[in-house]
Structure 1
Amino acid sequence: MAKSVPAFINPAILAWARDQARLSPEAAAKAIAISVEKLLAAENGDAQLTFPQFLAAANVYKRAPSLFYLNEPPAGFQPIQDFRKLAEAEPGAFTPDLTAVIRQAQERRDLALDLHDDLGEPAAEFTFSATLNDDEEALGARIRSFLDVTATEQQAWRAKAFDHWRAKIEARDVLVFLIPGLPLTEMRGVAIAESRLPLILINSKDRTNGRTFTLLHEFCHLAVRASGVSGFGTDERRADAARVEQFCNAVAAAALVPKDWLLSETLVARKGSEKTWADDELAALAVRFGVSREVVLRRLLTLGRTTKAFYDSRRPAFQKEYDDLDSKKSTGGPPRHLVVLSQLGRSYAQLVFQGYYDRRLTLRDVSNYLNMQVKSVPAMEQATFGLKG
């Protein structure tokens, strides 16, 4: 029976993962639903966990299943380069769930780097760079040029704007992962600046156009090689982080909503000197650029087409919409393989399948790397490459 199939994982990593999770053998065994004796024997290499038991252990330790097949434990958890929270959230230490999310993303990056090298196609160096002294409008234009985004194609994206911006960024050897299960008040986006395969994490609970803004915000963090955690540490560090956040907000807005394009919009031009904006006007502009109404209004404020007082009067309504997202219950949804593809990204999934085609990975490896059952892999393959079943 399937439950009796041994997982053949590295026992040293099994023991290491439990230690990193700070769980006693008794607590870990109870959570995995096995005996303490079985767990310790597996850690010593004297027994093997079945595949379901191994997946349960990976879930309890909050580790990617593929990690347990490495020859040795990874070097260790590295501090992230950016942590974007909503302004109302209280600063404090990372929660265990957030720490696990970042750690898992870094592990997937390590695996992707290894795959690139094994396939003889090393990931390109991330060479796009900027400084906090750069002109925000000019940097926004540079980002559009670097990603090869034109106004004509952006107008056509509309509701699919996030997917297209993501594809443009992934094409530059940046990993973009969607993160489920975390409240927006805990995390909206994370950037991990690396010389190869830098990482961007986006909270999947956010609205699609909210994800788009966060994506460009985090890309700006990669460009300036920002370090530290926004809103944490000493007052001086918080001030430094606030400067980076404000800069990246402005650059993301400039990249998504270019000045000349916005001001040339008929709806904007005919408003003349009027400083107030109806909600349907903001919504119409938001659709054109594939962003949120708040991003449009903030951009209008930056360009002197509205007032700070009017922006502040609309801010609470926007914030309530964000708050409602955290309390919203999901009902139904797409098949599991489409959810995984959305979370991991098409470029990462294609890399894993390329490793399989090149006989660097087994089918079981593929299922581990993609965190899904073997029987779901064919459907995932079809979706990854746009094939018809």
Structure 2
Amino acid sequence: MAEAFINHRMLSWAAERSGMSVSEIADSLKVKIEEVYAWFEGQKRPSFSKAQAISKKLEIPFAYLYLASPPSMEPNIPDLRTLNNNSKKILSNNSLEVIKDAEFKQSWYKEYIISNVSSAPLPFVGKYKVGDISIVSNIKEKIGEDLFSHRGKNSEEFIRKIILSYEEMGVSVLKSSIVASNSHRKIPLNDLRGFALSDLHAPFIFINSSDEEVGQIFTLFHELVHIWLGESGISDFISDNSHHGKLENFCNLVAGKILVSSSDLKRNWIETKENIRNIEDSANALKVSRAVILKRARDEDYISREDYNKMYKFIYGKKREKIPSKSDKGGNFYYTLPYRNGRRLTKAVISLVQNGDIGAREASQLLNINISKVFSKKLQRNILEEYRWGA
């Protein structure tokens, strides 16, 4: 059987990026673990067919295994995620592909907007600088106070209302937990919670729908602050660690103040209750996480630094579990499509197909669907009628 003269160092690099262990690779290829170790160390070479199977399993082009050194796999936007020692996290292949796909969509949609809607830039993009806390009132004024005073019957409804308000003012929101339409390629939550692609004409936001719903809500506002600052980036999650940097800490601060104002906290905080009960009840009432309430309670001096530190450890020690919402379920293709691709972009693509302005292949690439689906009458009817998009 012909051997593949691959670079064993590239094999190790690809495995590290994928997050797969040696035993998982061995099991998937139905070979002994010792054989895989031998490939990694350059003591043996896999067969050509095994090498092809490895590249497919590790989700990299087969030719990469022959390179002398790893290619650049960095995203085009700043990666603001850090570990406690200030070192950068490695972005997974799935997460990188999601970012590239969003950039592709944004590039197309920007051209569409300028050519067919308006060439005028959106006035709020890049309007503020880090440190200007008046950004809080400006964002709330733009969105409308009604969104916050009527948050919906549950967190899922609040998310729908937020996304609808963003799209109406020109910010596209992509919400998914998988790469394209491939349910087997999950986006790891600890790798990618959200990112912002700032642009004067077509700003884009992505949130990972595998996060718990209150986490998605916070991420939506965190990313919106990025747009108001004109700063693209892959975002870190809410935390009190100083290593996040000035930009991320400011986005967290503003998002918290938007979601939980001083009056919101005063209205929900009852002095006769224990702090932890106040945090739980306020979080449920305002449809935010306990971590957001905890931080805002400390900001407003409702709790001491000592109590804050104790409850911080308690809250972050709990595992975040997600109850799938309707927009996460793969059963209703017509429901999830505008969430995954953005409401206005999806509608624009389907309208152009109907008018014969773009072909089915281009539409299928933009929406990550099979070409046959593009001409689905049910799809066109539901999308153009904005089926189930309302808040």
TM range (shorter): 0.5 to 0.7
In structure 1, the partner of 2:144 is 148
2:117 maps to 1:114: no
Partner amino acid for 2:193? R
Query: In the TM superposition, what whole-angstrom CA distance separates every residue of 1:103-142 from its partner, at most 9, and x where no partner exists?
Result: 1110011121233345x2136523211112312xx32221
C-alpha change, 1:81 and 1:358, in structure 2 (3 Å) is farther
For 1:145 and 1:246, how far apart are their aligned partners in 2?
22
The residue identity in structure 1 corresponding to 2:271 is K
Deviation at 1:372, TM superposition (A): 1.9
* 1:271 is the counterpart of 2:267: no
Q: 1:163 aligns with which of 160, 164, 177?
A: 160
Q: 1:123 to 1:203 in 2, by over 3 A?
A: farther
**1:86-119 alpha-carbon deviations (Å, 9 max, x no partner):** 879962343332222211110011121233345x
What secondary structure, in the 3-state scheme, does the structure 2 residue paired with 1:131 have? coil
Alignment correspondent of 1:139? 135
SS of 1:163's equivalent?
A: helix
Q: For each residue in 1:297-337, what CA deviation from the matched residue of structure 2 results, as whole angstroms up to 9, or x when unmatched?
A: 221111111223333323344334455559xxxx9653233
Corresponding position: 1:343 with 2:340: yes
Task: Output the CA distance in 2 between the equivalents of 1:109 and 1:205.
Answer: 23
Q: Distance in 2 between the 1:256 and 1:355 partners?
A: 37
User: Structure 1: how far apart are the matches of 2:342 and 2:312?
Assistant: 32
Distance 1:195 1:218 in 2: 15
* Aligned with residue 260 of structure 2, among 257, 260, 265: 257
Secondary structure in structure 2 of the residue aligned to 1:178: strand
CA distance, structure 1, for counterparts of residue 250 and residue 211 of structure 2: 21
The 1:347–1:85 alpha-carbon spacing in structure 2 relative to 1, beyond 3 Å, is farther
The letter of the residue matching 1:183 is P
- 1:10 equivalent in structure 2: none
Query: Quick one: distance in 1 between partners of 2:280 and 2:345?
Result: 33
288, 292, 299: which one aligns with 2:289: 292
1:321-380 Cα shifts (integer Å, max 9, x gaps): 455559xxxx96532332333222322211212222433123454333222232474343
Task: Give the Cα separation in 2 of the matches to 1:103 and 1:294.
Answer: 31
Partner of 1:192: 197
Aligned-pair CA distance for 1:207: 0.9
Which residue identity is paired with 1:277? I
Deviation of the 1:275 alpha carbon:
6.8
Tell me the secondary structure at the aligned position of residue 351 of structure 1: helix
Q: CA deviation at 1:30?
A: 5.3
Question: Structure 1 residue 143: deviation in Å?
Answer: 0.6
Query: TM-score scaled to structure 1, two decimals?
Result: 0.67
Contact 1:86–1:188 (CA under 8 A) maintained in structure 2 = no
Q: Could you say which residue in structure 2 is the equivalent of 1:130? A: 128
Is the Cα–Cα contact under 8 Å of residues 136 and 257 in structure 2 kept in the other structure?
Answer: yes
Give the distance between the partners of 1:88 and 1:187, measured in 2 at CA: 19
Task: Pick one of 358, 362, 383 that aligns with 1:361.
Answer: 358
Q: CA RMSD in A?
A: 3.8
Which residue of the partner structure matches residue 37 of structure 2?
none
Deviation at 1:283, TM superposition (A): 3.5
For the structure 1 residues 125 and 335, does the alpha-carbon distance in structure 2 shift closer, same or farther, using more than 3 Å as the test? same
The yes-or-no answer on 1:378 pairing with 2:374 is: no
Q: Secondary structure at the match of 1:213?
A: helix
Structure 2 gap ranges (5+)? 1-47, 62-72, 178-185
> Would the alpha carbon gap of residues 306 and 147 (structure 1) be closer, same or farther in structure 2, given more than 3 Å must change?
same
Provide the secondary structure at the position in 2 that maps to 1:277.
helix
Bigger proportion of residues as helix: 1
CA distance in 2, matches of 1:216, 1:260: 19
Structure-2 residue corresponding to 1:4:
none
Give the Cα separation in 1 of the matches to 2:235 and 2:161: 27
Q: What is the TM-score with the length of structure 2 in the denominator?
A: 0.66
Residue of structure 2 equivalent to 1:220: 225
Identical pairs, percent: 21
- AA aligned to 1:276 is N
| CA distance, structure 2, for counterparts of residue 240 and residue 228 of structure 1 | 16
| Structure 2 letter corresponding to 1:371 | N
AA partner of residue 195 (structure 2): V
User: Structure 1 residue 387: deviation in Å?
Assistant: 4.5
Per the alignment, in what secondary structure is the counterpart of residue 207 of structure 2?
strand
Q: CA deviation at 1:145?
A: 0.5
d(CA) in 2 for partners of 1:87, 1:358 = 53
Tell me the distance in 2 between the aligned counterparts of 1:240 and 1:193: 23
Matched, 1:307 2:310: no
* Cα distance in 2 for residues equivalent to 1:379 and 1:127: 37
Determine if contact 2:195/2:223 at 8 Å carries over to the other structure: yes
Tell whether 2:176 aligns with 1:175: no
CA contact (8 A) 1:77 1:103 kept: no
Is the 8 Å Cα contact of residues 140 and 258 (structure 1) preserved in structure 2?
Answer: no
Task: State whether structure 2 residue 249 is matched by structure 1 residue 246.
Answer: yes
